[in-house]
């Protein structure tokens, strides 16, 4: 296991439906003044901004970039920050993620903020046939 180097940037890979909202406040407090979000804006259909880590590091110390990284959609780590070599993530039981994603999608799909690939399926059908984007 690699040891954390506080002199280098850190990427927090927020796997969808895996404690992002719960953890963000705490992690951002650890990197106060040097924490940046990396999320695709579905409503505006805009990519996350690309940050100049060298400039940010010179101003406040090494930054933390936290968000959803997705190579298939063009905003993966290698697309944005290939020079970063330390990462943090939280993993969750895949079944719990599936159930959480099902209920979340049902709750917010009318806002247009997310892609609704659940449709009218019930929870059992979603668990059996739905895809989990943990590895994207």
What is the tens place of the pLDDT at every residue in 9-64?
999 998 877 777 778 889 999 999 999 999 998 778 899 999 999 888 777 889 99
Q: What is the pTM of this model?
A: 0.75
Is 63:53 a contact under the CB 8 Å cutoff?
yes
* pLDDT cut 90: percent of the chain above it: 36
3 state SS of 98: helix
Nearest one of 60, 22, 23, 16 to 39, comparing CA atoms: 16
User: Rounded to the nearest 5°, which phi and psi values hold at 37?
Assistant: -85, 150
Please name every residue paired with 38 in a beta bridge, in sequence order, or none if there are none: 67
């Amino acid at each position: 296991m690699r040891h954390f180097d506080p002199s280098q940037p850190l990427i927090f890979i927020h796997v969808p439906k895996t404690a992002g909202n719960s953890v963000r406040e705490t992690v951002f407090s650890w990197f106060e003044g040097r924490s940046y979000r990396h999320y695709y804006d579905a409503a505006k259909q805009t990519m996350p901004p690309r940050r100049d880590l060298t400039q940010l590091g010179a101003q406040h110390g090494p930054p933390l970039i936290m968000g959803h990284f997705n190579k298939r959609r063009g905003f993966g780590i290698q697309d944005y920050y290939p020079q970063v070599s330390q990462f943090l993530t939280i993993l969750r039981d895949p079944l719990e993620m599936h159930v959480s994603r099902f209920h979340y999608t049902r709750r917010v799909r009318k806002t247009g903020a997310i892609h609704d690939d659940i449709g009218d399926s019930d929870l059992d059908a979603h668990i059996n046939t739905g895809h989990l984007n943990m590895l994207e």
